Amino acid sequence: MTGRMRIKQILAQGRGGEEYAVSGWVRSVRAGKGVAFIVLNDGSCLGGIQIVVDSLLPSFPQIVRLGTGSSLAVAGTLVESPATGQRFELAAASVTIYQDAALDYPLQKKRHSFEYLRTIAHLRPRTNTFGALFRVRSFLAQAIHQFFAERDFLCVHTPIITANDCEGAGELFRVTTLDLAAPPRIKGEVDFSADFFSRSTGLTVSGQLEGELFALAFSDIYTFGPTFRAENSNTSRHAAEFWMIEPEMAFADLAADAALAEEFFRYLCRRVLDECGEDMEFFNSHMDTGLIQRIRKVADSTFQVMEYGEAIVQLRRAKVPFVYPVAWGVDLQTEHERYLTEQVADGPLFVINYPREIKAFYMRGNDDGRTVAAMDLLVPKVGEIIGGSQREERSDLLRQRMAEMGISEEGLWWYLDSRRWGSCPHAGFGLGFERLIMYLTGMENIRDVIPFPRTPRHAEF
């Protein structure tokens, strides 16, 4: 096993006549005259390396009968391939069979539906589509950290178990060690003071509130972690567990927030095109033939900005029948968001200054008294991909808003404290990582861009 090289590296830099060792899983075996051809893939790139096995090799009879998915180690000499389709092939000097995959291996044929592949989420990483997908996902995670590192943002790990519901939408998954069959009760109510944390706790819906505390010490910070929402919406864009990137900047207003979001989004478009070429070509030809062109355009464009009020005017003027009626004050639905970004803007669009009634308590009140300094970035096909705002830094107004919304100060005393000593204008946003991947790969269901999706009634793998 020593000296094993990744197939990607050999295909890119291998030299004819040199000896190499590879390991991987069989994609196909084909018998020729006195030889067998194996395509071996190790996940490092989309394609496999062609292995040529001479019938003189002692294990030849087993090799020709290897099933798809079998695991092998091969050592041999890289030679120019006489056939078209690949420049080099590996002439095997030795083949070690780790395991011959049985014929009931589910990934026998070339094409399977994504629905079927979800039922074998433990195996789908070995397909071309999910290989490409998870390489792109991994690349993007690293590019995101690089983006912020290059700009001197502090990376902060906000807690996963929390006692507050940041978005206030009541979508907290509970975390408890109480006996569900017989929880301690006081006057009929469950007594969480007897629970592990002596209070009622849940999984975080956002790292924002803790992120704000760090922004008020380090100026520019970001958190990138898993978030959890028990919303029972079974759509192709919602997951109960998803990852979110949340930067927060002190001394920044809504315009600075939108500027960062645009720079960030365009940076990621550029990086994925420049550095995930092979996988992006795959998505372009298999998912969406306009994909690369669309992302290229976004990487080079300036995003449009539209007031919420103007968005409502545009939607009311639209000649398409919406399921959800439109009037000033309603929250935008996906159908509305897609109309605005696809038909009106024909590209990414910031919608800003939403009615305060439909937004979270922490957003900064505008002078008009009815809107808040919020922004959503809408993109074609996906709709909302980023949600952000300038935060209410004025203590009295924040407390007033919390009182209006029935949010108790007790559990958020530490958040309110941040408005007492050295409060300052600050702003941030959240980018849904899975929605980003959907946008950049053309995949249409959030279940197909996360390794093991959690959605209502689904958490098997």
Q: Which of residues 397-456 bind ligand 4AD (CB under 6 A)?
A: 428-430, 432, 434-435, 446
**Residue 48 binds which one of ligand 4AD, Mg ion, none, with CB within 5 to 8 A depending on kind?**
none
Residues 410-443, buried b or exposed e (16+ Cβ, 10 A)? Answer: eebeebeebbeeebebbbbbbbbbbbbbbbbbbb
First to last CA, the chain: 30
Instruction: Quote the least distance from Cβ 25 to ligand 4AD, whole Å.
Output: 31
Angle at the Cα of 412 (from 410 to 418), degrees rounded to 5?
125
Of 231 and 307, nearer to ligand 4AD (C-beta) is: 231
**What are the CA-CA distances from residue 216 to residues 209, 268, 317, 420 (Å)?**
11, 27, 43, 12
Residues of span 134-163 touching ligand 4AD by CB under 6 A: none
Nearer to ligand 4AD, 135 or 229 (CB): 229
Q: Which of 70, 127, 158, 206 binds ligand 4AD (CB under 6 A)?
A: 206
Per-residue tokens: 328: 């000033």
- Report in angstroms the alpha-carbon separations of 158 from 6, 104, 211: 35, 44, 7
**Of 89 and 376, CB closest to ligand 4AD:** 376
Give least dist CB 157 to Mg ion, A.
Answer: 23
Q: Which residue in the set 23, 70, 208, 284 belongs to the binding site for ligand 4AD (CB under 6 A)?
A: 208
Q: Which of 24, 76, 348, 387 binds Mg ion (CB under 5 A)?
A: 387
The CA distance from 135 to 133, in Å, is: 5
Q: Helix axis angle, 254-275 relative to 277-286, nearest 10°?
A: 90
In degrees and rounded to multiples of 5, residue 140 shows phi and psi of -65, -40
Compare residues 202 and 387 and give the one whose CB is closer to Mg ion: 387
* Binding residue for ligand 4AD, selected from 195, 246, 393, 448, defined by CB under 6 A: 246
CB contact at 8 A, 208 and 249: no
Q: What is the helix (H) or strand (E) element at residue 96, kind and residue range?
A: strand 88-99
Quick one: tokens of 408? 């108790």
Q: Which of 124, 229, 294, 356 binds ligand 4AD (CB under 6 A)?
A: 229
Task: Return the number of the residue (358 or 459) whose C-beta is nearest Mg ion.
Answer: 358
One-letter amino acid at 93 equals A
Q: Is residue 238 near ligand 4AD by the rule CB under 6 A? A: yes
Residues in a beta bridge with 249: 220, 427
Query: What residue 72 binds from ligand 4AD, Mg ion, none (CB within 5 to 8 A, per partner kind)?
Result: none
Question: CB under 5 to 8 A by kind: which of ligand 4AD, Mg ion, none does 239 bind?
Answer: ligand 4AD
Judged by beta carbon distances under 5 to 8 A according to partner kind, the member of Mg ion, ligand 4AD, none in contact with residue 242 is ligand 4AD
DSSP E strand boundaries for 100-193: 154-155, 161-162, 174-175, 185-186, 189-190
Residues 259 and 265: their CA atoms lie apart, in Å, by 10
Give the one entry of Mg ion, ligand 4AD, none that residue 145 binds, where binding means its C-beta sits below a cut-off of 5 to 8 angstroms depending on kind: none
Q: How far is the CB of 432 from ligand 4AD (least distance, A)?
A: 2
Q: How many residues bind ligand 4AD (CB under 6 A)?
A: 24
Structure tokens at 454: 């959690």
Residues that bind Mg ion (CB under 5 A): 387
Using CB under 6 A, list all residues that contact ligand 4AD.
166-167, 206, 208, 229, 231, 238-239, 242, 244, 246, 384-389, 428-430, 432, 434-435, 446
